[in-house]
Chain A
Amino acid sequence: MTTIRYLSLSKPERALVSIGRFFKGIGIGIAHFFKKIPSAMLKVGYAISKPFRTLFDAFKNGTWFTRLNFLFMGFSQLLHHEIFRGILYLAYEGVFIWFLIKIGISNLSKLGTLGTFSPTSQYIGDVAEGTLVSIAGDSSFTILLYSLVTILFIIILVVLWYFSIRDAKSLQDNIAIGKNSKNTDFLKELVDKKYHKLLLAIPLVGLVAFTVIPIIFMIIVGFTNYDGRAHADLFDWVGFDNYHNLFAGFTSNGSNIIGEVFWQVLGWTLLWALIATFTNYFLGMIVALLINKKGIKLKKLWRTILILTIAVPQFVSLLLINRMLTPGGFLTRLFVQWNWIPANTSPFDSVILARALIIIVNMWVGVPYTMLICSGILMNIPEDLYESARIDGASTFKMYTSITLPYMLFITLPYLISQFVGNINNFNIIYLLSAGAPKFKGNIPTFYGEVGQTDLLITWIYKMSMEGDDKSYAVACVLGILIFLVIAVISLIFYGRSSSVKNEEDFQ
């Protein structure tokens, strides 16, 4: 269809045409996808086989120095003036072997059962006169954690082993054409060509030790029945039971209360994230517009007053507002006076009021941030856009909807998405303000924590894994993974599309 023909259509017809195009596009996309499969498979196969070909080549055409690298990582480097690299390779191999003998093997061998002996106490000698000695049993927690670390060590070893052999082979090739390396080359490269390795090494170690390992551990625990109590306890693999209980676990009377609660909490979490993000965004933008309006004086003062809320620790202001909203608190008394709630009750007894209050307080917390960000961008909007709009006789409102809003939305889309994700995991405001109240009706096993109707998934997880005597760390981990899936899907849909991510290089 030509452009002229398309433009001559009426609006509904155009809509139909674009819908048609949309579906046609999907069809073509799928066809392309299948067409690409054979060549993609070839590429993947090539990429997978490359390391093996390199290894084979190094073994076949390598000198004995290179071949010894298969056994002693860094051997060839040590003998060919690449001392630093060689020492690093060899040192890792040494640490690895020490770790494997000392900790790795014994724990890895128990991974299947997660340990069988529970800790006991035993009398040595006569019961009456002997001394009580406690015998350490297996700790499933320790076994799982050490096994995880061991597997990580093995993976790193394999990767380094491959690199050391590849390096040794290229070293040999370089020597063959007369290019000898110097010991100091390594250091020189570290501040230039390989500067990223120097810069990222320490942050990466921190990330792996304190973020990656805990998260992988968490995912694995989702398949056990660990309750989160003492570390010395034994627990077992349960497969997908936790997932099953959450989605299809029925109690004896045929109802699946946890399933129902789960969907309700998930629904409220998403609703909350949506409302909280948009109320904050628009209110923050309006405040920024008001402050930046021409002819308004004391701009700095207004801004400073709002920044005050950022400076005071959030948990202090939230606990304070919580105090005002307790049954005797003065806001509660105002609500009673206005007949919003019956006397001697808390505002958090009614679902709707509790949710509304949380959203309002969240605006109080979040608007200053949005205001700051929006002010910065508002000042960057070219003034001539407004000038020409004014000459054309546009009203203030029209200018807002046609210039300010599109400009802001375009630039702040990544920020909006990160806010949305942040709100899904907004722990503080719910936990400190309502603590989830009011509670769900019905008998929820204490095992699942005291979940309430303003609880987000994140606060539910906290209650389940950290509070009370009857905990369920494993189910909490399952919920954590589910949160992750929800957020990942949302971010993948929007994040990849936002222009500032796509055109990263354009900004530089």
Chain B
Amino acid sequence: MEKKHYASKRALEKGNRILVYAILIVICLIWVFPFFYLVFQSFGLNPNPKSIFPGPGNWTINNYAQLFTNKSTPFFSWWLNTFIIAFFTAALQTVLVLMTAYALSRLRFTGRQALMKLILILGMFPGFLGMLVIYYILKLLNLNTSIYSLILVYAASSMMSYYIAKGFFDTISKSLDEAVLIDGGTKNTVFWRVILPLSKPIIIYTILVSFTGPWGDFMFGKYIAISGGLQVNEFTVAVGLQYLTGFDEYYGVFCAGAVMVSIPITALFFWLQRYYVEGIAGGAVKG
């Protein structure tokens, strides 16, 4: 009797597990589907949104060829522009975010709480209403006719995204700081010798987030591109792809471009996934 009870329980658990696997497979299929759709479309001869697969005999790499050779879709310069912007944004933003987060997490000074509240409040305003003014400020600095001014715009907003890094720093024990200070170190030493070496996940997380940001942001880039009267080859990838969606005949090229953008970023995510997860889990929610 006893034995049978266990056996049925084991069977139940097995059934359960199969059910879970089934659900997970369905979920994953749903989540991956749009990417396969994208890839298939990018290889279609006359890509159209009506069917998922290009019909037999309709497979082609023409879209990719056009993407790189056609003068009106200068994908390579878009890619290069975005890479340069993303690289410098990541460098600047990471430094500024870590500086802000350290100051707000570890140092105690008058106005600290007020500053945190101010940043919280500033984050509640719809940012793009400020685009007009930001553009004007860029114009005063004579930067409005270059897409690289985006670096300045992205880096300037670094302070707004201190939150996750601060959450991470908060979890590092303060007794370490005290040990350094007692031994005659300064707060500068604490930052470089204690906090930074312990913060690899959050540093990589910040780099990853600030590096991938410019690849997807089309709003501000588009505003500068239009207002500053930029040439097509001065666009970023996001602005360029957004520009391609305006032409029906470039649909296949758009898909090919989207695949080419996604590949390096996806690879980056796969490579640094562990840190991304650790960063989010450690910083977003203090446990």
Q: Which residues of A are at the interface with B, using a C-beta cutoff of 8 A? A: 141-142, 145, 191-193, 195-196, 199-200, 202-204, 206-207, 209-215, 217-218, 228, 231, 287, 290-291, 293, 295-296, 302-317, 319-321, 323-324, 326, 328-330, 333, 364, 368-369, 372-373, 375-377, 380, 411-412, 414-415, 421, 425, 427, 458, 461-462, 465-466, 473, 476-477, 480-481, 483-484, 487-488, 491, 495, 500, 504, 507-508
Output the nearest chain A residue to B99 by Cβ-Cβ distance: A199
- When distances are taken between beta carbons in the complex, the residues of chain A under 8 Å from B191 are 195
* 95-118 of chain B: CB within 8 A of chain A: 96, 99-100, 102-103, 107, 109, 112, 115
With A195-B187, A480-B125, A487-B124 as contacts: A376 and B281 at CB distance below 8 Å: yes
Complex Cα spacing A214 to B129, Å:
8
Q: List 19 contacting pairs A-B, 8 Å CB cutoff, sorted by A.
A: A142-B136, A195-B103, A195-B107, A195-B186, A196-B109, A199-B99, A200-B115, A211-B130, A291-B24, A313-B238, A313-B258, A316-B38, A319-B245, A319-B254, A326-B49, A329-B50, A330-B50, A375-B281, A484-B125
Complex Cα spacing A369 to B285, Å:
13
Candidates A212, A319, A415, A508; contact of B285 at CB < 8 Å: A415
- When distances are taken between beta carbons in the complex, the residues of chain B under 8 Å from A380 are 287
Output the nearest chain A residue to B188 by Cβ-Cβ distance: A191
Say whether A210 contacts B126, CB under 8 Å: no
Complex Cα spacing A427 to B191, Å:
37
Candidates A290, A313, A462, A466; contact of B262 at CB < 8 Å: A313
Candidates B35, B156, B245, B284; contact of A373 at CB < 8 Å: B284
- When distances are taken between beta carbons in the complex, the residues of chain B under 8 Å from A324 are 37, 49
- When distances are taken between beta carbons in the complex, the residues of chain B under 8 Å from A302 are 24, 28
Q: What 3 A-B pairs have minimum CB-CB distances, sorted nearest first?
A: A376-B281, A214-B130, A206-B156
With A195-B107, A218-B125, A461-B129 as contacts: A491 and B120 at CB distance below 8 Å: yes
Complex Cα spacing A465 to B131, Å:
11
Complex Cα spacing A314 to B216, Å:
7
B277 located at the interface, meaning its Cβ lies under 8 Å from any Cβ of chain A in the complex: yes
With A375-B281, A377-B281 as contacts: A203 and B174 at CB distance below 8 Å: no
Say whether A212 contacts B100, CB under 8 Å: no
Say whether B262 contacts A316, CB under 8 Å: yes
Candidates A145, A196, A481, A491; contact of B133 at CB < 8 Å: A145
Complex Cα spacing A303 to B278, Å:
13
Output the nearest chain A residue to B37 by Cβ-Cβ distance: A320
Please give the distance in Å from A309's CB to the nearest CB on chain B: 6
B80 located at the interface, meaning its Cβ lies under 8 Å from any Cβ of chain A in the complex: no
B7 located at the interface, meaning its Cβ lies under 8 Å from any Cβ of chain A in the complex: no
Please give the distance in Å from B155's CB to the nearest CB on chain A: 7
Say whether B159 contacts A296, CB under 8 Å: no
A145-B136, A206-B96, A480-B125 known; 8 other A-B pairs, CB under 8 Å? A203-B99, A209-B137, A211-B122, A214-B134, A315-B242, A372-B281, A415-B284, A465-B129
- When distances are taken between beta carbons in the complex, the residues of chain A under 8 Å from B107 are 195-196, 199
Output the nearest chain A residue to B214 by Cβ-Cβ distance: A313
Say whether A328 contacts B48, CB under 8 Å: yes
Say whether B121 contacts A296, CB under 8 Å: no
Q: Which residues of B are at the interface with A, using a C-beta cutoff of 8 A? A: 13, 17, 20-21, 23-24, 27-28, 30-32, 34-35, 37-38, 48-52, 96, 99-100, 102-103, 107, 109, 112, 115, 119-134, 136-137, 152-153, 155-160, 170-174, 186-188, 191, 212, 215-216, 218-219, 223, 238, 241-242, 245, 251, 254-255, 258, 261-262, 265-266, 268-270, 273, 276-278, 280-282, 284-287
Say whether B157 contacts A308, CB under 8 Å: no
Output the nearest chain B residue to A488 by Cβ-Cβ distance: B124
Say whether B281 contacts A191, CB under 8 Å: no
Say whether B285 contacts A373, CB under 8 Å: yes
Say whether B100 contacts A203, CB under 8 Å: yes
- When distances are taken between beta carbons in the complex, the residues of chain B under 8 Å from A211 are 122, 127, 130, 156-157, 159-160
Complex Cα spacing A310 to B153, Å:
23
Complex Cα spacing A311 to B32, Å:
12
Complex Cα spacing A493 to B152, Å:
35
Complex Cα spacing A314 to B258, Å:
11
Say whether A307 contacts B20, CB under 8 Å: no
Complex Cα spacing A477 to B128, Å:
10
Please give the distance in Å from B10's CB to the nearest CB on chain A: 11
Say whether A217 contacts B50, CB under 8 Å: no
- When distances are taken between beta carbons in the complex, the residues of chain B under 8 Å from A477 are 129
Say whether B261 contacts A204, CB under 8 Å: no
With A211-B130, A330-B49 as contacts: A312 and B284 at CB distance below 8 Å: no
Please give the distance in Å from B191's CB to the nearest CB on chain A: 8
Say whether B170 contacts A364, CB under 8 Å: no
Say whether A473 contacts B132, CB under 8 Å: yes
- When distances are taken between beta carbons in the complex, the residues of chain A under 8 Å from B223 are 466
With A210-B153, A376-B277 as contacts: A192 and B269 at CB distance below 8 Å: no
Please give the distance in Å from A9's CB to the nearest CB on chain B: 38
Complex Cα spacing A206 to B50, Å:
47
Say whether B124 contacts A411, CB under 8 Å: no
- When distances are taken between beta carbons in the complex, the residues of chain B under 8 Å from A368 are 31
Please give the distance in Å from A281's CB to the nearest CB on chain B: 13
Say whether A207 contacts B159, CB under 8 Å: yes
Say whether A484 contacts B186, CB under 8 Å: no
Complex Cα spacing A462 to B102, Å:
35
Complex Cα spacing A506 to B39, Å:
50
Please give the distance in Å from A155's CB to the nearest CB on chain B: 15
- When distances are taken between beta carbons in the complex, the residues of chain B under 8 Å from A320 are 34, 37-38, 255, 258
Say whether A329 contacts B49, CB under 8 Å: yes
Say whether A304 contacts B187, CB under 8 Å: no
- When distances are taken between beta carbons in the complex, the residues of chain B under 8 Å from A507 are 170-171, 286
Complex Cα spacing A487 to B265, Å:
33
Complex Cα spacing A204 to B13, Å:
57
Say whether A483 contacts B124, CB under 8 Å: yes
Please give the distance in Å from A189's CB to the nearest CB on chain B: 10
Please give the distance in Å from B77's CB to the nearest CB on chain A: 18
- When distances are taken between beta carbons in the complex, the residues of chain A under 8 Å from B286 are 411, 500, 507
Output the nearest chain B residue to A462 by Cβ-Cβ distance: B128
- When distances are taken between beta carbons in the complex, the residues of chain A under 8 Å from B273 are 304, 307
With A199-B102, A316-B262, A421-B124 as contacts: A306 and B28 at CB distance below 8 Å: yes
| Most chain A beta-carbon contacts within 10 A, residue among B23, B124, B266, B273 | B124
Complex Cα spacing A465 to B21, Å:
49
Candidates B28, B34, B120; contact of A321 at CB < 8 Å: B34
With A320-B34, A372-B280 as contacts: A192 and B270 at CB distance below 8 Å: no
Say whether B128 contacts A466, CB under 8 Å: yes
- When distances are taken between beta carbons in the complex, the residues of chain A under 8 Å from B266 are 308, 311-312
Please give the distance in Å from B37's CB to the nearest CB on chain A: 7
Say whether A213 contacts B265, CB under 8 Å: no
Say whether B287 contacts A192, CB under 8 Å: no
Complex Cα spacing A466 to B131, Å:
10
- When distances are taken between beta carbons in the complex, the residues of chain B under 8 Å from A321 are 34
